[in-house]
């Protein structure tokens, strides 16, 4: 409960008039002062009599691509027994972590035991995460002396994914033979990977009888498809890598997010394993289930340029060199990140195929990385065209 400046002034003036009237014998001043104090007390009682509301929120859908529609529907019910509620509430709707705009929700003569539905569209013109709720109900007395704000209902979150562009081609797989050669093949090849204990449901033809006789229990062979491409996308989310970054964001970084989303969509469509790593640390993916793409796109929606320098990229490349979650690495950065490409080029050993995607306006003189495939594009749509134009990975 907040007493407004008008209420503070009225109360102070009323007390002063009341004291002056009694002290110097002016009944008119005492009446005016008493009236002011009574008005303030009435405002406090009016604000304390709050309406009892029940708010249910639904969002459909809660994950959309940039520019697609998403709608929030509020079901507000008056759970009180007496009096109809007439007020204007405000629902918060803005990007996560930032003070967002509010949407007015009019509630006109909501009778006890009845409810009303109010819907409004969510702004999806920018990639990111949009938080909605809770519903803020502000109640004021007729004179504007006291203001009371209360929250009703829960909150919800909408992920706005970057727009993806159609990519037709995917890299060929890497087949590793026992003599150390690396052969590129377009189709899968099953090879022996390891031995493990037998569990109910395993096929008996996979039992390795010689090892089972030695250890005294059934051991089965596990096989691995080594030739299907395993894509690893490394997105440079360092703020210093995007030369056009300002208070409103970076158009080049948004293009890089679109390029990453396009790769994820192509891999998901071909049922290929793909992982997404941010230079700042977070990672997602690794599965071949279509539903796993949701985690990667969620990470793309949440990604924002973060402060940090070369040490972040050194840590990220060291982590990839140690764990090597795939065989085809695609590094996405901006024009300001061209100076650090030597760190990524050093992954050419652990990763048989390394591609560097540079997003943003072209510069007069740009360094050419050695030993890696350069995908130079100005925006996400241009990146998809350059990607499909690659003859050999």
Per-residue pLDDT, 190: 52
Phi-psi region of 271 (alpha: psi -120 to 50; beta: other; left: phi over 0): left
Residue 292 pLDDT > 80: no
Q: DSSP for 67-83, please give it.
A: T---EEEEEEEE--SSS
- What separation in angstroms does the CA of 385 have from each of 4, 76, 246, 254, 379? 60, 49, 28, 17, 10
Per-residue pLDDT, 290: 47
pLDDT per residue as tens digits for the range 54-64: 899 999 999 99
Q: What residues does 284 pair with on adjacent strands?
A: 276
Per-residue pLDDT, 162: 95
Average of pLDDT values for 256-260?
96
**Signed CA dihedral, 249, 254, 255, 260: sign only:** positive
pLDDT band at residue 223, thresholds of 50, 70 and 90?
Answer: low
pLDDT band at residue 289, thresholds of 50, 70 and 90?
Answer: very low
Whole-number Å distance between alpha carbons of 264 and 269 = 8
In sequence order, what E strands does 14-141 have? Answer: 53-60, 63-65, 71-78, 85-95, 101-110, 115-121, 128-140
Residue 228 pLDDT > 70: no
Residue 187 pLDDT > 50: no
Per-residue pLDDT, 364: 77
Per-residue pLDDT, 98: 72
Whole-number Å distance between alpha carbons of 217 and 209 = 9
Whole-number Å distance between alpha carbons of 264 and 267 = 5
pLDDT per residue as tens digits for the range 306-319: 888 889 999 999 99
Q: Token pair 């793309």 is at which residue?
A: 300
pLDDT per residue as tens digits for the range 96-151: 767 668 888 887 777 888 888 989 999 999 999 999 989 988 877 778 888 888 88
Give Cβ neighbours of residue 391 (< 8 Å, ≥ 6 apart).
none
pLDDT band at residue 185, thresholds of 50, 70 and 90?
Answer: very low
Contact 78, 106 (CB under 8 A): no
Average of pLDDT values for 30-46?
87
Q: Record the pTM.
A: 0.75
Q: Token pair 């599965």 is at which residue?
A: 287
**Signed CA dihedral, 370, 374, 377, 379: sign only:** negative
Q: Token pair 């959309």 is at which residue?
A: 64
pLDDT per residue as tens digits for the range 262-287: 999 998 888 888 899 999 987 776 54
pLDDT per residue as tens digits for the range 338-382: 888 888 888 888 888 889 999 999 887 777 777 788 899 999 999
Give Cβ neighbours of residue 289 (< 8 Å, ≥ 6 apart).
none
pLDDT band at residue 188, thresholds of 50, 70 and 90?
Answer: very low
């Amino acid at each position: 409960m907040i007493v407004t400046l008008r209420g503070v002034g009225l109360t102070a003036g009323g007390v002063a008039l009341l004291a002056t009237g009694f002290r110097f014998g002016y009944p008119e001043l005492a009446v005016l002062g008493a009236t002011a104090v009574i008005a303030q007390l009435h405002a406090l009682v009016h604000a304390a009599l709050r309406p009892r509301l029940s708010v249910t929120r639904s969002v459909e859908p809660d994950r959309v691509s940039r520019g697609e529609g998403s709608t929030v529907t509020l079901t507000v019910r008056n759970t009180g027994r007496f009096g109809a509620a007439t007020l204007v509430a405000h629902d918060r709707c803005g990007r996560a972590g930032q003070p967002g705009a509010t949407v007015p929700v009019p509630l006109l003569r909501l009778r006890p035991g009845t409810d009303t539905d109010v819907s409004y569209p969510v702004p999806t013109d920018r990639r990111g995460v949009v938080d909605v709720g809770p519903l803020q109900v502000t109640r004021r007395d007729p004179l504007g002396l006291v203001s009371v704000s209360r929250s009703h209902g829960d909150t919800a979150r909408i992920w706005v994914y970057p727009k993806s562009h159609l990519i037709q081609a995917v890299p060929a797989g890497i087949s590793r033979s026992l003599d150390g050669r690396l052969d590129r093949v377009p189709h899968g090849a099953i090879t022996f990977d390891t031995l493990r204990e037998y569990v109910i449901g395993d096929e008996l033809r996979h039992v390795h009888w010689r090892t089972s006789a030695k250890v005294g229990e059934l051991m089965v062979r596990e096989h691995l498809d080594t030739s299907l491409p395993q894509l690893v996308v490394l997105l440079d989310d360092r703020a210093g890598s995007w030369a056009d970054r300002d208070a409103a964001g970076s158009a080049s970084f948004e293009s890089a997010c679109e390029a990453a989303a396009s790769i994820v969509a192509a891999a998901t469509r071909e049922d290929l394993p793909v992982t997404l790593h941010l230079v700042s640390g977070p990672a997602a993916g690794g599965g071949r289930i279509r539903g796993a793409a949701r985690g990667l796109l969620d990470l793309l929606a949440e990604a924002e340029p973060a402060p940090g320098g070369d040490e972040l990229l050194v840590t990220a490349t060291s982590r990839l060199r140690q764990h090597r979650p795939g065989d085809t690495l695609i590094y996405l950065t901006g024009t300001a990140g061209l100076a650090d490409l030597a760190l990524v080029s050093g992954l050419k050993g652990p990763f048989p195929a390394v591609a560097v995607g540079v997003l943003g306006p072209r510069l007069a003189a740009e360094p050419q990385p050695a030993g890696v495939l350069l995908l130079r594009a100005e925006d996400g749509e241009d990146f998809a065209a350059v990607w499909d134009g690659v003859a050999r990975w």
